[in-house]
Amino acid sequence: MNHKLRGLGICTHFGRRSKGWKAEHLVPLAKEMGASLVRDEIEWHGVEKEKGKYAISAENHDWLKRVSAAGLGINFVLLYGNSIYENPLDPKAFANFAKFMAKELAGKYNIVSFELWNEPTNFQFLKHYGGPWSGIEPCLWLEKFAELVELTAATLKKEVPRMPLIVAPGDPQFFHMAMRHPESLKDIDAYASHPYPSRFPPETVPWGGAQIHGRDGISVADDDHSYMSLWRCAREHCRKHLGRELAMHATEWGYSTYDHHRKGHNMAGYSEEAQAAYIARGVILSFAAGLESICLYDFMDDGLDRYELEDNFGMVRHEERHYEHKPSWFILRRLSEILSPGWEHIKTSPARLAADINPLPFNNDLWQHPVTEPYLLINSPQCFWFKVGKDVVSFVWKGGRISGEYRDPCGSIEWEDAPEFRRIEMTDLSTGKPLPANPVIENKKLILPDVPVGGSPVAVRWMPSDPGSLFTKLCRAT
């Protein structure tokens, strides 16, 4: 049965066959997990080795063919410089490369979008041109990046006018770009962020607040540092400075399971169980935030080093470990099964999650004082609703860190004037185990008790006796 989940993407590096990225093995695993989108690239310098002469290797054609044959869409990233030019970031030369790639790939393979460059602050633009990392004025690298984007997007729109074009200069860099170089985005259809949580649960981002505003010259999230506010702020910023909204994508996002205790990094390393639960929560949050897609970085562990950040982002292990599935692979397959054959976010919740969650009491004794994190403000119960076929699905968890030390609290879902349901099912997404669902009716209110509100998401499937009347009511409420 096909459980391809709309909006669920993975980042891959299929051009690196010698490092384990073998499409013939990984594409079937991605499809079985529920991925519907692959984000991958072929670098400019590997295509144009002599000026004006372009060629895509048979190895790259192979992975493009396999991904397309599996029915997965491809967000193709056009990226990086080419040293055969005096300026390796020459905008006209890059636009010509992009034109060739569009002509060669679109229509032949299942290309669903082109993304222009990848992380210009990390890859070449900042180093080559200089300027503030944040993009605050004056900033030569951002000016030059905007020039390349404008020319490349205009070129692509002539070649493939209906193909969505995505740009991801970073945050807060996109906000400065939209303010100061709005003309560079006139042919761009979508904005992408790489909102890695770094050291936080998925509800929190390392932006927002006075200190970050002072550093970056702009706020890209609310003072509660919420993931949801990042996307709302981006929409508002586009309306204000571009006069229109752009589609939204998270084209890189994820958690590494490396051991950070030896080397350390600004990103923490998580247990495989925490990675799984956080990834599921992040995907649900992204769908609720209105994103077109979220691409998880990256599908396979890039290596075998326990202490290396980049070697441990995967949902499956490296080739040398036989692509063994991590818990995150299984939780995503369960999520894709639950949200198949298609989902629609319900913006107005039809029922209320009631959960009485209180901290341990404390007095003046220091040993009782709770530990607080100034950035981690979202610790409340979370509940999101989706229409799935003829059913309604709600996801419940407690925001914040996963401890596992204390017993998880429970709450109840209370549905006023509830419709009649032929069946209600509740599942722990991390384990896949069914949980008892024993609703009671009190004064026309349906109450589903004993709903776990912990770090692992719980899915509740509500199967109405009369789906038509329920969805009519939900549409009116929305």
380 in the same domain as 331: no
Question: Tens of pLDDT along 161-181?
Answer: 999 999 999 999 999 999 999
Residue at 339: amino acid letter: L
Question: Tens of pLDDT along 26-59?
Answer: 999 999 999 999 999 999 999 999 999 999 999 9
How many Å apart are CA 227 and CA 378, to the nearest integer? 10
53 in the same domain as 191: yes
The CATH number assigned to the domain holding 22 equals 3.20.20.80
Confidence of residue 475 (pLDDT cuts 50, 70, 90): low
358 in the same domain as 337: no
Does residue 3 sit within a domain?
no
Question: Tens of pLDDT along 130-144?
Answer: 999 999 999 999 999
Question: What range does the domain containing 367 cover?
Answer: 345-477
172 in the same domain as 305: yes
Averaged pLDDT score across all residues of the chain: 96
166 in the same domain as 262: yes
293 in the same domain as 352: no
333 in the same domain as 354: no
Does residue 107 sit within a domain?
yes
440 in the same domain as 359: yes
Domain-ending residue, one of 289, 317, 341: 341
247 in the same domain as 152: yes
Confidence of residue 477 (pLDDT cuts 50, 70, 90): low
Question: Tens of pLDDT along 262-299?
Answer: 988 899 999 999 999 999 999 999 999 999 999 999 99
Domain-ending residue, one of 341, 369, 396: 341
How many Å apart are CA 9 and CA 159, to the nearest integer? 26
- Residues 6 or more apart whose CB falls under 8 angstroms from that of 313 comprise 254, 255, 256, 257, 297, 298, 301, 302
- Residues 6 or more apart whose CB falls under 8 angstroms from that of 431 comprise 456
Does residue 2 sit within a domain?
no
- Residues 6 or more apart whose CB falls under 8 angstroms from that of 442 comprise none
Question: Tens of pLDDT along 174-225?
Answer: 999 999 999 999 999 999 999 999 999 999 999 999 999 999 999 999 999 9
Domain-ending residue, one of 341, 371, 396: 341
363 in the same domain as 337: no
For the range 196-199, what are the long-range contacts, defined as Cβ-Cβ under 8 Å and sequence gap of 24 or more? 196/252, 196/253, 196/254, 196/267, 196/297, 197/227, 197/253, 197/255, 197/278, 197/282, 198/266, 198/267, 198/268, 199/266, 199/267, 199/268
